[in-house]
Structure 1
Amino acid sequence: MKVLLIDDEKAMHLIMKRMLAKIADIEIVGIFQETGSAFAYLMNHEVDLVFLDISMPRESGVEFAERIRESGLHTKLVFITSHKEYALFAFDVDAFDYIVKPVMQERLQKTVQKALAEKRSENLLRSMQKPASEYIALSCLGGIDIQSNNGVRVKWKSSKSAELLGYLLIHKGRLVSRSKIIEDLFGGMAQKNAEVYLNTTVYQLRKVLEAYGLKENLHSESNHYAFSLNQVHVDFLSFEEGCRQLAIIDETNLRQALELEQKYTGQLFGERAFSWAWNEVERLSLMYTSFTQRLSVSLLQSGEVNTAIRLLLKLMAHNEIDEESFMLLMKAWAMQDNKEALVKNYSQFSDILHREIGIKPSSETADLYKKLLSGLNS
């Protein structure tokens, strides 16, 4: 396991090197006294575990950790600190562990062994990613469902088992700690009760997955859980990847784009309002809106006005005050020489804006309406 040391005191470098040398399977790949060069190293090299002093000049360990997480790196971070109260800050930046000075060999050994165990589990998950002849469909757009190739649909043991699967799918195969799961899924519950509830939920989910041959996909190791994406097709992950591949939509991929739009069958998890999922729900919703608007523009340019109108009306039903979608819809009505629809829909849109948020259509929308109406009157 590759380890990085970051501490402004050279004495701590010597102490940590001596203690880590007594632990098998550890390779110290870098030692730094400041965070700038350490950050540059992490951006360009594979590192499994970082031991990080919190109290450092210029940039504290917590600030450095926040920068690491913002960059998208999930490297395990272990804080070294003289103050126990910093433990709370450690969890805020998803730290793997924290050790209070003076560092004791036994305590360090415990942290490293835990990290080694997780690394083995991660390697196991990767080794399981083998091509499969048959896939199970996991649907999260519009609800949470499991369906096999022969059409067998899931019967959930409990609503929490469905929620746990959705939660692990959001993390895309990455390991998530029990403490984090309890915080997000069982917040407000007494710790002891939450522990029991989580154990029951994991058991229920395993039983559900077993019916589809996916029991081993729910992996647990050292108080962490992950769901392997091997042998499964996840609709929202497929939709997200499709949007990336179709960044530009034209006549060469218009049919493919239309097929992708049909895969978005509703918001992430449907009516299940999980507070931990709000950011992902909004992100995917905005991704769908942007994709469908681009698709509609391409349809209008290709003369497929009826199809564009159908999609734009779907967008307006999704968000009735979205002016960008409405402006595209007005252009579509004008292309059909449908003055009645243009006037009627503009009036309805104006009423909705006034009723819902107390404003009038923007000057851009109003000017476009006048221009289109003038063109139809001429």
Structure 2
Amino acid sequence: MRVVLLDDEKAMHLIMKRMLAKIEGVEVVGSFTNAASAEAFLSGNEADMIFMDINMPRENGVAFAQRLRESGREIKLVFVTSHTEYALSAFDVYAYDYMVKPFEPERLQHTVRRALAEARGGREEAAGAAASEPRVHINCLGRLEIRSVRQGLVKWKSSKSAELCAYLILQRGSLVSRARLIEDIFGGMPRKNAEVYLNTTAYQLRKLLDAIGMKESLHSDANHYALNLSPAQVDLHLFEAGCRELAVVDQTNLDRATELERTYVGNLFGDLDYPWAWSEIERISQMYAAFAQRLSLALMNAGDSQRAIRLLAKLAAHNELDEETVKLYMQALAMQHNREALTRLYARYADTLQEEMGVRPSVELSRLYASLLAELDAAE
């Protein structure tokens, strides 16, 4: 595995190189003190993983990571920083891990060996999977995009063609009447104009699908439309199926559950505010929250409170008023004997409840907080 180091402190390069040298299969191919130098290197060289600091001169690590993601690079990004407050921003750019300085060599080894195991598994499966690998990927979580193996990110013909595609994706191949589409997508427009606009939008979507090898995927007749997604892989459908299959998360399926959680990079359709999708956005959001809570509890039961805390921080940002998340978060912080963070979390939650809803934390949550503090007192 080819590794790049990005940190403005050269002493950190030496420390990381010593730690990584003890892990078989790892080669440090470059070390840089600023993002511009790292980017220049990566433009002509391959790398599998970057260990990067966040606070650096001229450009911080999160901004650099965002640019890497926008360019389509799927390199694994591991943030190594002295600060905990950037964790949510890091996972917004699909960070592979977030390590807080100082950390033990075992912490680094765990992350690298997990990546090596995934890479080995991928190579073993590649030959058999190549023939059945979907040539089109449709991403609905956190954004709305179509990616073709041949063409990369596909550009929408118009915003309405994207909306029509999103609408039909949620129907899962079922027929939808023209009247319903006009009402939901083109509401407020004169009927005659709306029908013309629907025809034009459907034509644009059909041309886009034809160009990426999904010819005849958009079915239409005099009164209906339907979208056949069998040639494509849809992240939304994979996520829903995974949540159903992993109704119980434990040590036997912890890695699989962790990978599934990473596919949820944001709410359904991201920032696209489609009124007709509000109920589905809420349903998928609640499905993710329940799954992430199951995974967090499994991580805590496995003794991995650090990974549980990272996940719960992401989940708390997703819904800061969810009491079940706060309970788990408090318990995970107590596992690390982090009284300061525990107190800060409870106080912030209480303040938010008061500001947003005019109420105080429930008796159950308050008792849990008190008992965790008592346990920490007894352990000191």
Unaligned runs of 5+ in 2: 1-130
Aligned-partner Cα distance in 2 for 1:166–1:233: 14
**In the TM superposition, what are the counterparts of 1:189-204 in structure 2 within 5 Å?**
189-204=189-204
**In the TM superposition, what are the counterparts of 1:100-179 in structure 2 within 5 Å?**
134-150=134-150, 152-179=152-179
CA deviation profile, 1:282-339 (whole Å, cap 9, x unmatched): 0000000000000101000000101100111101001111111001000001000111
Show the counterpart of 1:359. Answer: 359
Show the counterpart of 1:339. Answer: 339
Assess if the C-alpha contact under 8 Å between 1:132 and 1:231 holds in 2: no
CA RMSD, Structure 1 to Structure 2 (Å): 1.2
Aligned-partner Cα distance in 2 for 1:182–1:246: 38
Assess if the C-alpha contact under 8 Å between 2:134 and 2:233 holds in 1: no
Aligned-partner Cα distance in 1 for 2:283–2:347: 30
3-state SS of 1:330 partner: helix
3-state SS of 2:137 partner: strand
CA displacement at 1:216 relative to structure 2: 1.1
3-state SS of 2:290 partner: helix
Show the counterpart of 1:271. Answer: 271
CA displacement at 1:222 relative to structure 2: 3.3
Letter in 1 for 2:202: V
CA displacement at 1:221 relative to structure 2: 2.1
Identical aligned residues as a percent: 54
Unaligned runs of 5+ in 1: 1-130
Q: Greater CA deviation, 148-157 or 266-275?
A: 148-157
Aligned-partner Cα distance in 2 for 1:230–1:288: 24
Assess if the C-alpha contact under 8 Å between 1:315 and 1:325 holds in 2: yes
Assess if the C-alpha contact under 8 Å between 2:137 and 2:234 holds in 1: yes
Letter in 2 for 1:295: L
**In the TM superposition, what are the counterparts of 1:319-330 in structure 2 within 5 Å?**
319-330=319-330
Return closer, same or farther for 1:201/1:282 CA change in 2, 3 Å cut-off: same
Q: How many residues align?
A: 248
Show the counterpart of 1:13. Answer: none
3-state SS of 2:153 partner: coil
Letter in 2 for 1:313: A
Letter in 1 for 2:143: G
Aligned-partner Cα distance in 2 for 1:223–1:163: 19
With normalisation by structure 1, the TM-score equals 0.64
Show the counterpart of 1:210. Answer: 210
CA displacement at 1:133 relative to structure 2: 5.4
CA displacement at 1:206 relative to structure 2: 1.3
Show the counterpart of 1:79. Answer: none
**In the TM superposition, what are the counterparts of 1:68-83 in structure 2 within 5 Å?**
none
CA deviation profile, 1:234-271 (whole Å, cap 9, x unmatched): 11111000000001111110000000000011100111
3-state SS of 1:141 partner: coil
**In the TM superposition, what are the counterparts of 1:226-265 in structure 2 within 5 Å?**
226-265=226-265
Show the counterpart of 1:220. Answer: 220
Aligned-partner Cα distance in 1 for 2:204–2:147: 17
Structure exhibiting the larger radius of gyration computed from Cα positions: 1
Letter in 1 for 2:137: A
Assess if the C-alpha contact under 8 Å between 2:151 and 2:212 holds in 1: no
Give structure 1 regions of 4+ aligned residues with deviation exceeding 4 angstroms: none
CA displacement at 1:132 relative to structure 2: 5.5
Assess if the C-alpha contact under 8 Å between 2:143 and 2:271 holds in 1: yes
Aligned-partner Cα distance in 2 for 1:133–1:314: 31
CA displacement at 1:150 relative to structure 2: 4.1
Return closer, same or farther for 1:287/1:218 CA change in 2, 3 Å cut-off: same
Aligned-partner Cα distance in 1 for 2:176–2:286: 26
Letter in 2 for 1:344: R
Letter in 2 for 1:343: T
Return closer, same or farther for 1:189/1:317 CA change in 2, 3 Å cut-off: same
**In the TM superposition, what are the counterparts of 1:279-318 in structure 2 within 5 Å?**
279-318=279-318
CA displacement at 1:211 relative to structure 2: 1.9
Show the counterpart of 1:188. Answer: 188
Letter in 2 for 1:291: F
Aligned-partner Cα distance in 2 for 1:171–1:134: 20
